[in-house]
């Protein structure tokens, strides 16, 4: 029996995380030995994807494709492995091949949208997400992906509408709902609506308290509003989370802002003492 794996990108403008969601779908295993071999190779590739052995998965899917070149799932999952390894050109090629075989492959449009976003091809990303949404209008992540692309093009009101839709659709999915709040917060932040940004980051943190980026970005909005104590609290939490997650660059960034705030506070104190 052939497995399928639905590999979807979790987009954030600061944090880019990939989440694999495995969905087993029964297919009738055809009798010819040649196709059986392709199925076995395909399933081995799925297992290697789940084990984060992306190079091995690519090798298995490539062999499966050689035996069954009209299987869109093999191209789809090989594309995901290429995506994780940062080979966006090959990922796009495989998603495109999957769509040529199956023009209604919803998640291939969604994932290709994500690759286009990472490649800064925002118009192409929006086009693919439009198609994905036309095929499955109740999938919240597609609206997040499209909202992120629109935000990069300064189509901020349309981006906010997409995030609002995602928040509504993800009522029973805390992780996705947290992403929607987080990305809407970033859009509000870019518009210098820091109060609304803080509210959205707060909602995101309530759903995903281990997201250091949400604490860091909320701190930045607190700092912009002159709420330095609140900013310091969030920055310290962000720095700790980044340390625990081995994200040294982000940890350094949080510590730099802490030092900047402390330096400004000291200068202000010295000025007050002189006057």
H or E element, residue 232: helix 228-244
Residue-range domain boundaries for the chain: 1-136
Fold topology of 1-136: 1.25.40
Cβ-contact 72, 96 below 8 angstroms: no
Cβ-contact 109, 99 below 8 angstroms: yes
CA geometry: angle 116, 19, 240, nearest 5 deg = 105
3-state secondary structure of 173: coil
pTM for this one?
A: 0.84
Helices (H), 6-139: 33-50, 54-67, 72-84, 88-101, 106-118, 122-135
| pLDDT value, residue 263 | 85
What pLDDT digit, counting tens, does each position of 224-274 carry?
Answer: 999 999 999 999 999 999 999 999 999 999 999 999 999 887 776 665 555
User: Considering only 1-15, 83-97, 133-147, which range has the smallest mean pLDDT?
Assistant: 1-15
What pLDDT digit, counting tens, does each position of 132-185 carry?
Answer: 999 999 999 999 999 999 999 999 999 999 999 999 999 999 999 999 999 999
Q: Counting Cβ atoms within 10 Å, is residue 57 exposed (0-12), middle (13-18) or buried (19+)?
A: buried
């Amino acid at each position: 029996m052939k497995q399928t794996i639905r590999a979807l990108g979790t987009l954030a403008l600061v944090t880019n995380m990939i989440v694999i969601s495995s969905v087993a779908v029964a297919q009738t295993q055809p009798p010819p030995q040649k196709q059986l071999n392709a199925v076995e190779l395909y399933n081995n590739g799925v297992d290697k994807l789940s084990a984060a052995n992306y190079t091995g998965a690519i090798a298995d899917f490539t062999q499966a494709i050689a035996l069954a070149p009209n299987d869109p799932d093999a191209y789809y999952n090989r594309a995901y492995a290429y995506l994780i390894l940062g080979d966006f050109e090959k990922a796009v090629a495989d998603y495109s091949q999957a769509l040529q075989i199956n023009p209604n492959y919803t998640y291939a449009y969604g994932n290709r949208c994500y690759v286009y976003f990472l490649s800064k091809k925002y118009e192409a990303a929006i086009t693919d997400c439009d198609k994905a949404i036309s095929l499955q209008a109740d999938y919240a992540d597609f609206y997040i992906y499209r909202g992120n692309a629109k935000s990069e093009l300064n189509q901020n009101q349309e981006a906010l509408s997409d995030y609002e839709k995602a928040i509504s659709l993800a009522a029973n999915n805390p992780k996705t709902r947290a992403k929607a709040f987080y990305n809407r917060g970033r859009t509000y932040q870019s518009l210098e609506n820091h109060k609304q940004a803080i509210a959205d980051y707060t909602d995101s943190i309530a759903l995903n308290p281990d997201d250091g980026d949400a604490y860091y970005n909320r701190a930045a909005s607190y700092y912009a509003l002159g709420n330095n104590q609140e900013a310091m609290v969030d920055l310290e939490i962000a720095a700790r989370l980044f340390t625990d997650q081995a994200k040294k660059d982000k940890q350094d960034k949080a510590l730099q802002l802490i030092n900047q705030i402390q330096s400004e506070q000291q200068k202000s104190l010295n000025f007050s003492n002189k006057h």
